Every structure is written in C-alpha cells, then in structure tokens.
Chains A and B, each alone.
Chain A
Amino acid sequence: MKENAASRVLFILLLFLFARLPTNYTLTYRKEGETLIHECPDYKTGGPNSCYFSKKYTSIWKMYVITVSAINQMGISSSDPLYVDVTYIVEPEPPVNLTLELKHPEDRKPYLWIKWSPPTLTDVKSGWFSIQYEIRLKPEKATDWETHFAPKLTQLKIFNLYPGQKYLVQIRCKPDHGYWSEWSPESFIQIPNDFPVKDTSMWIFVGVLSAVICLIMVWAVALKGYSMVTCILPPVPGPKIKGFDIHLLEKGKSEELLRALESQDFLPTSDCEDLLMEFIEVDDSEDQHLMPHPSKEHMEQGVKPMHLDPDTDSGRGSCDSPSLLSEKCDEPQAYPSKFHIPEGPEKLEDPKTNHTCLQAPQSTSGEGKIPYFLANGPKSSTWPFPQPPSLYSPRYSYHNIADVCELALGMAGTTATLLDQTDQHAFKPSKTIETGGEGKAAKQSESEGYSSEPDQDMAWPLLQDKTPLFSAKPLEYVEIHKVSQDGVLALFPKQNEKVDAPETSKEYSKVSRVTDSNILVLIPDLQAQNLTLLEESAKKAPPALP
C-alpha cells in the first residue's frame, strides 16, 4: 500500500477538454446515508489532479458519490457522479522479505524453499485482511514463467528444478476482493550442477515391493499351481447334455445319436408347475385282445404297447399316421382298458432317462383341474399320484398317447424340434419326446401342481380340449374314474359312441403285472376290486417303475 492501506483512496480524475483557459477543478463528494456535501480534504499529497483521502475520511461499507467540477471563465461544468465503495478497490503493496533456499533432505526429494512476509502496511495479524499470494519463477534465459498460487501461508516449496540453471523469482499479493499488487523485485538463485533431480529412495521401495510380490506369486503357483490357474483362467465348459454320451457324436451314427438325444429329459421342471400336468394314457380295448407287437413282452391282456408318434400330426392317431397306431389299425377293435406306461429302451441304458408318458386327457368339458404327473428317474415312483384326488377332475377324455406326448413335450423345446426332423422310424416305441404342440401346450389350462417334488425332472402338460384327437380312432379310451387319496388311479372305459354304452363301467383297478420294460399292465377287476389292490401293486411297482 502506498500509504495507510485501509484509509487511503486514490482517485484518478479525468481531465476535460479546454485545458487552455486557466481552469480550477474541484472535487466534491457525499457519503451514503448523509446529505452533507464535502470537498476534497487534500489536493496535494496525491499529486496533480488528485484528491487524497486520509484515514480519517475513509469509511468502508459506505458508498461515496464523487463529483468533479471544472470552473473557468466560460462557466462551470460538472462530471457525472462516481459511485465508489472502498471495500472493493483495495490494492496492496507487494510482499516483502522474499528469501530463497535450496533444501536437500536425505530421504526425500530436493526442493527450493521460498519464504516471504506480507506487506508491512497490511494488517493481516488482526485478521482485518485476508491476503492471497502468487509466485512466479523461471530460468534466467527462458521466456515463460511458471506460476504458483499460495492461498494463505507465507512459504512455498518448489520441486523439479533443472540443475545448473539460474532462477528468477517474483511474488505479488491481493486481498480477497481487491486488486493485485505489483510484482516484487526479482530474486535470484543458482541451482548447482550436481543437484539431484530424482529421488531414488522411492524407486528402491517400489522395486523391493514388486520383488516381494513376485516371490509370493511364484510360491503360490509352485504350491498350488493348478488351482491358481483354474482360479484365474477357469476352464471353458464343454458342451454337455445330461445323460448324453458324447462319444456317440464321434461315432457318427445317426440312429444311436437320435435315440440318445430323444431319451433326454428336456422338459421344464418345477417352476412351470401350473403348466405341468399329468396324464395317463389308457388304451381302451374291449376285446382284450392284444395286438401283435414286436416286443411281445409288452403284450398282455389289456395292455397295449405304446408307440410314439414322432411326427407332428396332432393326434389324429389314425391309420394314416405312421405311429404305433398302424398296428392298432389291424386290430378289429380297441383293447380293453389298459394302462400303459411307455418306456424307451434307453431306460435300460441310462436310468436317468426313465420317464413315463402318462396321459389323463381332458374331457370335452374341459373343466376342472388337471393333475400333473411328474415323471421321474430312478428316484421315486411317480405312480401312483402323490397328490390328493381333490385336484382331479373325474372325467378325462382319452387321447392317443403319442399326440398327448407331443403336446406335452411341445414345451420341451428345441431338442424335440431337432428330433422331429430326423428319421421317424428311427424312433422306437415308448419315445415320449416330441415336437410340435407348443401352441397346443399353451392352451393348457392352469392346473394345480400335482407333484411338485423338486426332484422331479420331467413333466408333461395335460391336454385340455383335444377334440382334434377324437377323430376316428380304432382305440377306445378309458376314463379315469377317480384317484384315491394315495393318488391311485381308478379307470373306466370311455363311453364309445359306436358301441352301446355298457351297463356298467368297468373298473380297471387291478394291476396285472409290471413288464420288464416297466410297463404297468392293468386289467379290469371284475369283482369290483377296490383300489387297495392297485395301491399295493403300485407300491410294489415303484422300484421297477421309471
């Protein structure tokens, strides 16, 4: 500050025209909140054409309204008023006592230590002023300055100096809301040639640390190399289909391949409970006449072998379809009600693929809840039904098992589609996986989850309104009469339009036997056998059942 920093105000007066005539200038002012007009207290101290306000006349936080007037022979002319608040126009003196020092501590980087003091007239100690500082330096021959800002402290450390150079340093300051001071006079310092630029201790530390880390890694790898590698680079899982023997692919035998594929459990599991339905296919044959069949062991009184229809004709089940029904077509009539649990030969190969395609087709009424039957592997027998019969609708129409299985397995997905493309004759009987009826499957009504055991790995939706399946079939169908508490089926032959309604409904409640390929053979119990027999036989059957 040129004089008393807080109190001096230096105004620069504009000179008006007409300097030839002797002219007197006067400055008048008034302060905010006062009405009195004062004249400049001191025209001299500030030099020509200036007005000096000493401390006594200076107030901060008050507006000054200043006017300059020119008087000469021609008259008086006044300037526009100038409004000034002292607070915002303070310009300090430059900082003093600038000292430069080179420091080179042992464990740290070397630096230049710059210190200074605030201007003498600025009262920083009492807190009246807050001063900010700015330092600039450059090598003597360079053109650009390197500028540093120091908000409060009166010292600064500079790193990264070039050895062998002579540096110039300057400093200036300003109050919070005011103007910057002038730059202080230059200070010089010579950096010696052997001034170390880099600090080596840090690099040593980094080197040691990385060596330690490497050692630990090597040790870990040596001890448990494989598990580390698998941890970092887990092996890519190969393609895997459950129960599928990959070597079949290598052999390249399409028949076996397809057989293997179709025996898989492709069906959705427990989270589709409401869509899962049990169904039992019962083959109704009044003649109780067994159809000739290649695998004779399947043939039993009232037992009809089941063939899967691999193609997607939706359940016509007529002699047109190249399904198992071709055999039926030779037969004069349907068979007695049979309860047939189909099975594929793959079951013998791989117990996991055991499944049953049991249909309990829906009647045309389509009412009621449809129980579902989760076919299972070797874990448990899904027959008899584990659920209470209350979920059961007493009437079920009857479908060709192939069609039902189609529909059911429509939900299975892509693999089934794949199978569809293949040679149909490659399928053996008791294939249950089919394609196609995805759309039909979608029509299934909601059914109560019947067997919701999580270990069930397969289920088929129950068909609902399967009118298309009722086209002329040589088969007769069986109705499920009821299901006992233990989930045991009681079956009736369906009323066939062509045939006079039988006087009584037969009850197929007796299990004749279980075949080698895990097919339950039912026969009507002429003595109106109760359900317990069925239960008993079913209980015996479980180990053999899929």
Chain B
Amino acid sequence: MKGSLECWSRLLLLLVVSNLLLCQGVVSTPVCPNGPGNCQVSLRDLFDRAVMVSHYIHNLSSEMFNEFDKRYAQGKGFITMALNSCHTSSLPTPEDKEQAQQTHHEVLMSLILGLLRSWNDPLYHLVTEVRGMKGVPDAILSRAIEIEEENKRLLEGMEMIFGQVIPGAKETEPYPVWSGLPSLQTKDEDARHSAFYNLLHCLRRDSSKIDTYLKLLNCRIIYNNNC
C-alpha cells in the first residue's frame, strides 16, 4: 500500500512538472479589467461579440434563403411578390453609406433595436411553420432554429450596449409588428411557399442592415473610424 502511494505520487509529480514546462505561454484574461466592484464586460468586448453574432446571423439568413430558393422557388417568380413585402419597411433606415455615416449613433442603435425586436415574433413562427413543412431540408430548418436563438442573443447584447453608450435611455420605442402568420399557414402550397420566400428575403435584408450598422458603430465608437 505504501509502495503504491509513493509510486502514484511520483507519477503525479512528473505530470505536474511536465505540465508546467509545456504550458508556459498561457495567459489568462482578468475577469474584472476595470477593477473590483465594476465587474462589467467592457464595451469593446460587447461590440466584438455583437458584430460576431450579427455577422453569423446574416450568413445563416443568406444560406437559408439560397437553400429555399433552390428547393422551392425555381421558376416560380416568387420574387415579383417579394417587393414591398417586408414589415420593417416603415422604419427609416439609411439607404447608403453617406446617409448611414451621417446618422447619429443613438438613432442607429434605436433602429437596430427596433429591427431586432420586430423579428422576434416572425422568427418564432418561422421555426414552427418550417417544421410543419413536408420534406423540408434540414439545412433550412436547422438554420431557422439557429437564427431565432442568435437573434435573441443579439438583442440582449444590443440592449446592454445601448445602456452603456447612452446611459439613461428612454423607454423602448414601438417597433413594427408582423402580421404575416395567416399567409404562412394557408392551404395553398404555392401561396404558402411564396409567403415563406418573402419572409426569408426580408430576413436576409434586415440581417444585412443590422450587420452593417453594427460594424459602422463599432468602427466609429471603438476604433475611431480606423478599423
């Protein structure tokens, strides 16, 4: 018994020594960089994460749209019906770079928050209805589920950023409400697919807007226009 104890203790010692020798370069980041009592995630980190998530969401939306187009929309001319079909078109979003650069970051952030909130409900129903589609490829369904989750995450992050950049911000402003659920549930399969096409097309666009605005804000606020 004693012999085995010694044996194990020696092996352990060897392991520890080799570990120390090999793991020299590990640096751990402090949990509270701003000192104790102020243990918050820094704004830079918040923006980094938000940009990553928004980029991810936009990638997923594009892929989902392309998959749907390939599978259900070939030769159907759904695009004609997709014009002016986005429920968020009432939001006064800047349409090009100059307009965006001239928009105050407070306004931009409110727009981002409005877009994110207005997509909560449609994304939820999108997942439910896509599940019910016969023979839906997993590529579409899995992305829909992922986008819904990431959207919530991004909304949380944006609210935190908003609270830090604009302390004492006023109450949330109203956001556009989606009312396209009946069209997603019609019996006519073509009409149903057309409704899905519209929704995915709008999702791709709005996620691109969110991503672009966030990257603009990130470079403007954190990196001083020197990304």
Which of A63, A126, A226 lies in contact with B227, CB distance below 8 A? A126
Q: How far is the CA of A123 from the CA of B96 in the complex (A)?
A: 13
Which of B82, B208, B225 meets A177, CB within 8 Å?
A: B208
Residue of A nearest to B10 (CB): A220
Is B7 touching A124 in the complex (CB atoms < 8 A)? no
**Which residue of B is nearest A228, CB measured?**
B7
Q: Are A6 and B97 in contact (CB under 8 A)?
A: yes
In the complex, are the beta carbons of A60 and B226 less than 8 A apart?
no
Q: Interface readout for B184-227 with A: 1 if CB under 8 Å, 0 if not?
A: 00000000000000000000010011011001111110010111
For chain B, the count of residues having a C-beta within 8 Å of the partner chain is 41
Query: How far, in angstroms, from A149 to B7 measured CA to CA in the complex?
Result: 49
Question: Does any Cβ of B come within 8 Å of A331's Cβ?
Answer: no
Q: How far is the CB of B18 from chain A (nearest CB, A)?
A: 7
A55 to B96, CA, bound (A): 9
Q: Is B3 an interface residue when CB atoms closer than 8 A count as contact?
A: yes
Contact A231/B93 with A65-B83, A126-B227 known, Cβ cut-off 8 Å: no
Interface core residue of A63, A124, A126 (most chain B CB under 10 Å):
A126
**Cα-based distance from A125 to B223 in the complex (angstroms):** 9
A216 touches B62 (CB 8 A): no
Q: What does DSSP make chain A's interface, helix, strand, loop or mixed?
A: loop
Near A by CB (< 8 A), chain B positions 47-101 give 55, 58-59, 62, 79-80, 82-84, 89, 93, 95-97, 100-101
A124 to B216, CA, bound (A): 10
A58 touching B96, Cβ below 8 Å: yes
Chain A residues numbered 50-83 whose CB sits less than 8 Å from any CB in chain B: 55, 58-63, 65, 81, 83
Chain B minimum-CB-distance residue to A58: B96
Q: Which residues of B contact A216 (CB under 8 A)?
A: 10, 14
Name A61's contact: one of B4, B95, B219 (CB within 8 Å): B95
Contact B96 A60 (CB under 8 A): yes
A33 B84 Cβ-Cβ under 8 A: yes
Say yes or no: is A530 at the interface (Cβ < 8 Å to chain B). Answer: no
Q: Contact partner of B93 among A33, A61, A125, A177, CB < 8 A? A: A61
Let me know if B26 is at the binding interface, CB within 8 A: no
Q: A59-B95, A126-B216, A126-B220 are in contact. List 9 more A-B contacts (CB 8 A).
A: A33-B83, A55-B96, A85-B205, A125-B219, A127-B220, A128-B100, A216-B10, A224-B6, A227-B4
Which B residues contact A (CB, under 8 angstroms)?
2-4, 6-8, 10, 14, 18, 21, 55, 58-59, 62, 79-80, 82-84, 89, 93, 95-97, 100-101, 205, 208-209, 211-212, 215-220, 223, 225-227
Listed A/B pairs (21) with beta-carbon separation below 8 Å:
A6-B97, A32-B83, A33-B84, A33-B89, A58-B96, A61-B95, A61-B208, A124-B227, A125-B219, A125-B227, A127-B220, A128-B212, A176-B58, A176-B211, A177-B62, A209-B18, A224-B3, A224-B7, A227-B2, A230-B4, A232-B7
Residues of A within 8 A of B (CB): 6-7, 32-33, 55, 58-63, 65, 81, 83, 85, 87-88, 123-128, 130, 176-177, 209, 213, 216, 220, 224, 226-228, 230-232
Per CB-CB distance, the 8 closest pairs between chain A and chain B, nearest first, are: A227-B3, A127-B219, A231-B7, A127-B215, A59-B95, A83-B79, A127-B216, A32-B83
